[in-house]
Amino acid sequence: MSQLKNDRYLRALQCLPVDYTPVWMMRQAGRYLPEYRQLRAKAGDFMTMCQTPELACEVTLQPLRRFELDAAIIFSDILTIPDAMGLGLYFEAGEGPKFEKTISSLVDIEQLPIPDPEQSLKYVMDAIRLTKQELAGKVPLIGFSGSPWTLATYMIEGGSSKAFTKIKKMLYCEPKALHLLLEKLANSVALYLNAQIDAGAQAIMIFDTWGGVLSHQSYREFSLHYMQLILSQLKRGKKSNNITSYVPVTLFTKGGGLWLDTICKSGSDAIGVDWTVDLNLIAQKGNIAVQGNLDPSILYANEETIESQVESVLTDFGHYNGHIFNLGHGIHQDTPIEHVQYLVKAVHQQSKRFHL
């Protein structure tokens, strides 16, 4: 039997019955919360918060004190692996993540180490162990990583990009080099996520933030293939009456709506979808779990509009098991806090009739 007080999220990930649709939000621990901004000011910078287990634990727990969320996600960053490979991750105000070193050749790729997660990434494992202890079974804890393709985009571009010209140049001109990088990243991510599972993560998410910039054929070859390589190596356990004996995995490709059928056959337990996806059109509902898919900008609207949009998402998914309510991407930093409360309350109240 489950050791969790609230196991709805894990049950939904396995397409098991629940009494209402579980809800959590991408970037639920972050800048829209005043307590987060205060802690970051005290810590000095983002990476200090990530690399100090006590601070990462505190930030993870902050939204749970305000809202009746059905899962916690460890506070970290998708780019911890490239940083541990020696590329020097840093953040510039208003410009997002950047790297001191970038990858531009086969020689660069061959020299990259595969990090030992209990050495160079031990701070993440320590944060998970501490947070799991502090949660005391209140809700499940989610661990995560960026996808190999998404990590590679930052490593080659040196930071965020609009056109992704450097990595696409490597894709078309030096595909063998890019495949070597992606394979090395997939093996690194698998080690990293297995260490998170060992540390206490009860579900895993792989964020393929930039998979949607690829062509149809390239997505399968350079993104999905390497996420499947990770899936084949993960210690997911076995499904049983004890809901916590199995660690479900969600793949989320932002902008991946055209490839849903393919992603559904990837071997993951759940797919994350953004707000461009019509939940009505997902044929595999009830057989694979679906996470999504409210546009985060709806949280600027009034309570009545939020309730109406929640109802619309729930209706589109319908009377199936396996829905995790979430935003289609991360919550905006200027989102009014009370509007998040409206959302969580509306999901819990309105979804009950879909689970009778």
Q: For 242-293, how does the pLDDT look when each residue is reduced to its tens digit (9 = 90+)? A: 999 999 999 999 999 999 999 999 999 999 999 999 999 898 999 999 999 9
Cβ-proximal residues to 77 (8 Å cutoff; 6+ apart), any chain: 46, 50, 89, 97
Which candidate, 88, 94, 65, 95, places its Cα nearest to that of 161? 95
Q: Which of 8, 9, 32, 77 is catalytic?
A: 77
Active site residue 236: no
Active site residue 11: no
Query: Residue ranges for the binding site for substrate?
Result: 27-31, 77, 154, 209, 329
Q: Which of 31, 66, 129, 220 is catalytic?
A: 31
pTM: 0.97
State pLDDT tens for residues 131-161. Answer: 999 999 999 999 999 999 999 999 999 988 9
Which CATH number is 29-66+71-235 given? 3.20.20.210
DSSP, residue by residue, 226-259: HHHHHHTT---B---SSGGGB--EEEEETT-GGG
Predicted confidence (pLDDT) at residue 93 exceeds the cutoff of 80: no
CA dihedral angle for residue 19, residue 329, residue 249, residue 202, rounded to 10 degrees = -70
Return d(Cα 151, Cα 46) in angstroms, integer.
18
Q: Which of 9, 20, 154, 192 is catalytic?
A: 154
Per-residue tokens: 299:
């949280």
Which candidate, 3, 14, 57, places its Cα nearest to that of 237? 14
Phi/psi of residue 283, nearest 5 degrees: -70, -25
Return d(Cα 97, Cα 229) in angstroms, integer.
26
DSSP character at residue 279: G
The rounded Cα 304 to chain-centroid distance in angstroms is 29
Return d(Cα 346, Cα 308) in angstroms, integer.
9
Instruction: Please report, for the chain, the start and end positions of each structural domain, with discontinuous segments joined by +.
Output: 29-66+71-235
pLDDT of residue 1: 43
DSSP character at residue 223: I
Average pLDDT over residues 192-219: 98
Cβ-proximal residues to 27 (8 Å cutoff; 6+ apart), any chain: 330, 331
Active site residue 154: yes
CB 141 within 8 A of CB 132: yes
Q: Which of 40, 66, 129, 220 is catalytic?
A: 40
Check the CA dihedral 83-115-220-110 and report its sign: positive
Query: Residue ranges for the binding site?
Result: 27-31, 77, 154, 209, 329
Q: Which of 8, 11, 27, 236 is catalytic?
A: 27
Return d(Cα 41, Cα 239) in angstroms, integer.
43
pLDDT of residue 137: 97
Q: Is 49 helix (H, G, I), strand (E, B) or coil?
A: helix
Predicted confidence (pLDDT) at residue 91 exceeds the cutoff of 90: no
